[in-house]
């Protein structure tokens, strides 16, 4: 087979994944054998779950499209409002169930605070994360690009920021979840849903001052943790406002 050249153009924030130290959005690659467009994309360092639309010479294609000739390839990230909407999209947009890798503990906690179902075990190994993702139909959250490139990953996201509040905003935007936030409905420790309870149901486990000052309680249906609107509640409320502000700031950029 004669060698051929493909030119890949990255749109949106996909250049985040390029290994190049110099900002660059167009890359040329010489190929000497038939190559799937997915392999060509991932050889640049861009994990396939991050690519929502692929155009080869202006035509939308799937990941298994085989490159065998010179081609211009355009790659678009997942965005919730974009002119690429008219093309076939390769990613699932909405998903509210996640599995987060061991380095994303704060993000997992923040998402639970907003009411989202996040499986998280700081000791989980990669294959366990992938198993939970497949078995429970969850989207994988990880900053490990290699893991995100694994063939079994259908839906996933690599948070760009290293700051937990910003990461949470990114996930909300990526999966279009701004309207699905239900704060204080899920246990931050174990991820189980919380249930409203009357004081009489939990009174034996409350400190004397808590009994005097607080009237509303929620009980974790998993680990039994009691939540009430104490000082930690107002701290969480502030976090919630910060996260919402990040979501809105990201929204205005797309």
Residues in contact with Zn ion by CB under 5 A are 187, 189-190, 192, 220, 222-223, 225
Choice between 66 and 223, CB closer to Zn ion: 223
Ramachandran region of residue 69, left (φ > 0), alpha (ψ -120 to 50) or beta? beta
Min dist. Cβ of residue 69 to Zn ion (A): 56
Q: How far is the CB of 118 from Zn ion (least distance, A)?
A: 13
Q: Cα separation of 219 and 125, whole Å?
A: 30
Q: Which is nearer to Zn ion, 120 or 157 (CB)?
A: 120
Q: What is the C-alpha to C-alpha distance for residues 152 and 85, in angstroms, rounded to an integer?
A: 25
Query: Which segments of 68-222 are extended strands (E)?
Result: 71-77, 97-100, 117-120, 139-141, 156-157, 194-197, 217-220
Residue 132 C-beta: closest distance to Zn ion, Å: 18
Q: Report the nearest approach of Zn ion to the CB of residue 229 (Å).
A: 17
Mapped onto helix, strand or coil, the DSSP state of residue 35 is strand
Q: 112 or 244: whose CB is closer to Zn ion? A: 112
Rounded least distance, CB 10 to Zn ion, Å = 42
- The smaller minimum CB distance to Zn ion, of residues 45 and 193, is found at 193
In our burial notation (b when 16+ CB lie closer than 10 A, e otherwise), range 57-88 reads eeebbeeebebeeebebbbbbbbeebebeebe
> Rounded to an integer, what distance in angstroms lies between the CA atom of residue 245 and that of residue 238?
11
Specify the residue for token string 């060509």.
40
Of the pair 190, 240, the CB lying nearest Zn ion is at 190
**C-beta closer to Zn ion: residue 203 or 223:** 223
Q: Which is nearer to Zn ion, 62 or 224 (CB)?
A: 224
**Spatial contact of 99 and 141, defined as CB atoms under 8 Å apart:** yes
What is the Cβ-side half-sphere exposure of residue 55, based on CA atoms within 13 angstroms? 14
As measured in angstroms, the least distance from the Cβ of 190 to Zn ion is 3
Query: Helix 164-174 to helix 231-253 angle, to the nearest 10 degrees?
Result: 60
Q: How far is the CB of 199 from Zn ion (least distance, A)?
A: 19
């Amino acid at each position: 087979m004669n060698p051929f050249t493909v030119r890949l153009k990255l749109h949106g924030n996909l250049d985040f994944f390029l290994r190049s130290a110099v900002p660059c959005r167009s890359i040329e690659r010489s190929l000497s054998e038939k190559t799937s467009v997915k392999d060509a994309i991932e050889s640049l360092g861009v994990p396939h779950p991050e690519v929502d639309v692929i155009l080869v010479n202006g035509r939308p294609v799937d990941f298994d499209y085989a490159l065998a000739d010179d081609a211009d390839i355009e790659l678009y990230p997942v965005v919730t409002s974009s002119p690429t909407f008219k093309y076939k999209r390769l990613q699932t947009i909405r998903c509210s169930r996640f599995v987060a890798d061991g380095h994303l503990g704060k993000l997992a906690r923040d998402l639970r605070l907003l009411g989202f179902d996040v499986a998280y075990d700081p000791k989980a190994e990669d294959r366990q994360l992938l198993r939970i993702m497949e078995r429970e139909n969850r989207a994988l959250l990880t900053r490990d690009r290699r893991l995100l490139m694994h063939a079994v990953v259908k839906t996933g996201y690599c948070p760009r920021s290293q700051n937990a509040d910003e990461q949470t905003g990114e996930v909300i935007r990526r999966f279009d979840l701004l309207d699905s936030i239900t704060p204080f409905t899920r246990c931050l420790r174990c991820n189980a849903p919380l249930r409203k309870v009357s004081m009489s149901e939990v009174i034996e486990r409350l400190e004397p001052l808590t009994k005097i000052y607080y009237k509303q309680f929620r009980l974790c249906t998993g680990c039994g943790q009691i939540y009430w609107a104490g000082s930690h509640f107002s701290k969480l409320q502030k976090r919630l406002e910060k996260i919402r502000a990040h979501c809105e700031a990201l929204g205005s950029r797309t």
